[in-house]
Structure 1
Amino acid sequence: MMAQNEVVVVGIDVAKDKVDACIRSLSQRQTFPSTAEGQRALIRWLRKHKVGKAVMEASGGYERDWAKALRDARIEVRIVDPKRVRSFAPHPP
């Protein structure tokens, strides 16, 4: 169980046609299409889970519209360097 003052963070993997969102602390995952309705659905899902911060890789500009939509919804956004994120990926056995 998380302490009440901890911020819930979502990791978002942005692609051209969709985003994959994962709230690891809550074991929640969902995919949303890269459309205006997809952005609204993501924001509803994040609010449902009380997410306060979103982290996504810089991905050739595809992340910009998503970041703007989240910021407009008053969700803090961090765009990170993909090379730094890769160090957190699981390594094959």
Structure 2
Amino acid sequence: MIQELTVVGIDISKARFDVCAYPAGKHWSTSSSPEQITALIKRIQALGPVVVGLEASGGYERRLADSLHAAGVKVYILPPQGFAALPPPWGNWPRLTGSTLP
């Protein structure tokens, strides 16, 4: 039987992590304290086979990435400029001109 891989994306900031798991449809936020990182790793591991993507965020992602890697979780640090270049899933970016700006 083939198990479905869960993809977890984590938005990193100095004080907290915003987490989204696909296709599980789960999302939550947690603080970036060492205790909460341990709890986050356990919660991610409970999702089954998983891969985690973190947006590079001025070094704030390092402690989480290192902890995930040490726990045996496959983790990728992704450059933030790559996200800005991708179109949204609903189609092309809207064109903003002087007449369409609020």
Which band: TM-score by shorter chain?
0.7 to 0.9
Aligned to 1:65: 63
Distance 1:88 1:11, change over 3 A: farther
Instruction: Provide the C-alpha distance between the structure 1 equivalents of 2:35 and 2:48, rounded to a whole number of angstroms.
Output: 20
More helix by share: 1
Q: C-alpha displacement at 1:51, in angstroms?
A: 4.4
Unpaired runs of 5+ residues, structure 2, are 95-102
Instruction: Provide the C-alpha distance between the structure 1 equivalents of 2:50 and 2:78, rounded to a whole number of angstroms.
Output: 17
Instruction: Provide the C-alpha distance between the structure 2 equivalents of 1:85 and 1:69, rounded to a whole number of angstroms.
Output: 24
Q: Given the alignment, which residue of 36, 42, 55 partners 1:38?
A: 36
RMSD: 1.9
Q: Deviations over 1:7-32 (max 9, x none)?
A: 21100000000101100211001111
For normalisation by structure 2, the TM-score amounts to 0.78
Aligned length: 90
> Which protein is bigger by CA-based radius of gyration?
2
For normalisation by structure 1, the TM-score amounts to 0.85
Contact 1:13 1:57 survives alignment (8 Å): yes
Distance 1:88 1:31, change over 3 A: farther
Contact 2:4 2:49 survives alignment (8 Å): no
Report the identity percentage: 33
Which letter does structure 1 place at the counterpart of 2:31?
Answer: P
